[in-house]
Amino acid sequence: MTTGLIPGGHPPDPRPTGGLPSQSRREPAGRQALPMDDRSRSSVITARATASFEPLGRSVASARSFVRDTLQGWGFADIVDDAVVLTSELVTNAVVHAGTAADVLCLRSEDGVRVEVADRYPEREIPLQGSAGAMGNLDREGGRGLQLCAALAGRWGVDYTPTHKQVWFQLDLPERAVGTRAAGPCLPTDLLPLADGRVRVAVIQIDRSGSVSAWNEDAEDLFGYPSEQVTGKPLTDFAAWPHTPGTSTGIAEALQLSRWEGSYGIRDAAGRVVPVYASHLRVRDTDGDPSTVCLLVRDDERAVLQTPVRVSAPDTAKSAEGQSSDPFEVFIGSPAPDDLDGLLQRTVERARDMLDADSAFLLLATDDETELEVRASTGLPSARQRFARVPVEAGPGRYGSARMPAVHDDLSSVPGAVPLLNGTGMRSVVTVPLKVEGRLTGSLGVAAEAPGRYSNEEALRLQFAADRIALAVESARLGELERLRRGSLSFLVEASDLLAGTLDRDQTLALMAQMTVPTLATWCAVYTLADQASEPYLSYVLHEDEELIDGIKSLLSKIPPPDPVPTPGAHVWTAPAEAAHQAALRTSMRSLGLSEPASISAGINTTLATASAVGGETVVLPLVARNRVIGMLTLGKPTDEHFRQEILELGEDLSRRAALALDNARLYSERTAISQSLQRSLLPPGLPQIAGVEVDVIYRAAGEGNEVGGDFYDVFPIGENTYGFAIGDVCGTGPNAAAVTGLARHALRLLAREGLSGPAVLQRLNSAILDEGARSRFLTLLYGELRPREDGSAELKVVCAGHPLPLRLRQNGTVEPAAEPQPLLGVLEDLELYEQTITLDPGDVLLCVTDGVTERREGTRMLGDDGLTEVLTTCTGLTAGAVAARVMRAVERFASDAPSDDMAILTLRVPGLPT
């Protein structure tokens, strides 16, 4: 066995790997777990999962799902996205490029996860020994998956055996701060945190499935739900959790952690979001069943639950003034939060306390420094302000620019100077910029309800603190953007895979909405356009709470749809929020017995819950495919919530993929409808009712989506008590053969009704086929004329032109050919054909089939004429329909593969005389 390592990885350790013989590494992952070596697996393996995937394109998606489910089940949500992206690349190399099966093995250890992907093609070249520059060459086909390993994995490498090649990577778990106990000093009464006269602490217990199992009285008072209304329902039905792909922690992950503490929101019975501060503790009962106990208080009473900041122990690093040598730790405290949201929240709380303010806020700048996005606040309605965006004023004025410190003595005299504080009651405010290497990265502000609270001295103090934390905030922000990018990449890979897997329009619309909610938005609506002149049509609506879907659909159907703007990017659509606000105001005024103002438009009635669900920011993303707007994807948030810019950019990427998938589904549906309509025109409209004769037909065209192929049949009236019947086979299958099928069937009807004999009909049809020139195809045909007799029998005159001979089943069970073979059509110009007369006695059956029946194969075996005869001998006494059905079942059971040729079965039976 040889091992290759990419530059930058750890060198191979020459020591034995766990004392096991080297040949143990040659066992496939599905049969025996491969041992760990010292260079990449130094921890004890605590769990393993393995799966094998066939060399098919869909196996890549299956492998992604396997790795995602495995890691989420192990509680490793932090590294799921990286593992999914790397697994997708490596399995694609195995099943698509190498063309072999892939074995995927996941190993869990105390400090990370190792994933191994093995294929059965070790001879395939891998760019291990080449230079880094050669491997990174964009013109080179191979090596890109290995570049991802080098970029994302902590350690990785390639192992070879004579029969397998294995690429492995290891992802280390991010370090999490361990919770500690802490105590604070005795404080005077006037320095204690403020709280209501009675502090309500909601105690909620969540079972292992994520559903509420206990709900105390304080929870009822805080959120308005009685215990019996919420018990058994998932917490996610009520939690307003800010979720972003690839960043932070979701509610499901937070409930699985041993301990968690932080802020989120709970939707109360009136549909409003109540900001809360929560402390979660994971416990287990005496039977070993886990559950999570959640303690929740109002966000402004967080001091009741919030763990005090641990102060670092004194050391020799302090200066003579007794100050820490690290100014950042002086402001933030030690240890600093390891996530961006926690760092920003700690920053605004410290800034508020430092200047004895009533509120504080922090905004981060976009990459182009044209807008600021609200990311953290305290003392303000954070649910309303989070991710709200305000423009950056570029003027040099001290009070009007976000790029310089600014002090406002009284906001009432300069309304709109700080848009974030409009309607909050704050009067005095000081704001300072956060800058890194001269570039604006954010803005930090504190505010008070009283005017004239701050001066230049406070602005300098706040600016000094902002300078100390700017670099740490920017570093955390870049880390969040990188995690978001990885999560977005994984999201788009899976979205593209799902959208490419269907050509059904309705399913594409459903997938589009399901991928959007709740990952990108709380609710979404998809509008479609039939053509450029038509109005947008509301095609699909989805909300994370299914009970609100009908209400949102009703609300959207009563307001004008958004304009189909072809300009790329997200466009704000205010109509749903305005309609929701008016409906909520109307409902509230009615409940108070007040008359409605004339300014409120009538005709839109909705519940408060629906109004709250669509009352936030709503954006419209155009669905543009092939330079044409085919619809709009509408994303919405609940009351007073906003989208972050990264989510809108991810939504724009998704909309481009979804638009192309939707347009492909439309084109496929249109062409399928045209094809089916044309094909149905080639089939007979129906079978005539013939007195004294039973007629039945079974027809199967080969190929998916084909209704007509090269085989055809027809039964039609010629004259009084005379009927024509035909069964034929055109050379080939598909549309070209179907074209000759249409010519033959219609020509037969026309010529037969002119009173021509059977041979004359077929001779003229032969001339018509030859007249087609290069498009002509030879044709086998059994044509006959049927005349029922008064004695209960039936007379048949048949011509068998190169077709499998018809079989006659007598009442005594004997089977015999009912015609003689003659030349087929479409080959010779001059045909000498003749007709034969057959009499079907009562109880006799005439079976006519195409060669798709007799040439049915299973390996080297073929059903043949003898096999068909044997099946027919068992059909004595059956009706014409039962005979056709039994023959078809025998043909289907003869071979396991799908039929590769068209098949037609025509049966004529003369019923026995009544006794």
Q: Which residues pair with 782 in a beta bridge?
A: 727, 800
Q: At what angle do helices 735-752 and 758-770 cross, to 10 degrees?
A: 140
The torsion defined by the Cα of 307, 312, 313 and 318, in degrees rounded to 10, comes to -150
Amino acid at 902: D
Q: What number is the average pLDDT over the span 327-340?
A: 63
- Taking CA 707 as the corner, what is the angle to CA 706 and CA 708, rounded to the nearest 5 degrees? 95
Q: How confident is the model at residue 288 (pLDDT cuts 50, 70, 90)?
A: confident
Which of residues 830 and 220 earns the better pLDDT score?
Answer: 220
Instruction: Write down the pTM of the prediction.
Output: 0.51
Which of residues 336 and 538 earns the better pLDDT score?
Answer: 538
How far apart, in Å, are the Cα atoms of 565 and each of 152, 621, 666?
Answer: 39, 9, 21
pLDDT at 216: 94
Give the residue among 263, 6, 359 at the shortest CA–CA distance from 156: 6
Query: Which pair of structure tokens corresponds to residue 459?
Result: 């602005």
Q: What is the pLDDT of residues 125-147, one digit of tens each?
A: 544 444 444 444 444 445 566 77
pLDDT at 227: 92
The one-character DSSP state at 548 is G
pLDDT at 164: 75
Alpha-carbon distance 694 to 570, whole Å? Answer: 66
- Contact (Cβ atoms closer than 8 angstroms) between residue 777 and residue 737: yes
Query: Which pair of structure tokens corresponds to residue 5?
Result: 């390592």
Segment among 141-155, 265-279, 326-340 with least mean pLDDT: 326-340
Which of residues 844 and 593 earns the better pLDDT score?
Answer: 844
Q: What is the pLDDT of residues 748-759, one digit of tens each?
A: 989 999 888 999
Is the pLDDT assigned to residue 329 strictly greater than 70?
A: no
How far apart, in Å, are the Cα atoms of 116 and each of 33, 210, 510?
Answer: 10, 32, 35
Is the pLDDT assigned to residue 622 strictly greater than 50?
A: yes
Is the pLDDT assigned to residue 601 strictly greater than 60?
A: no
pLDDT at 15: 37
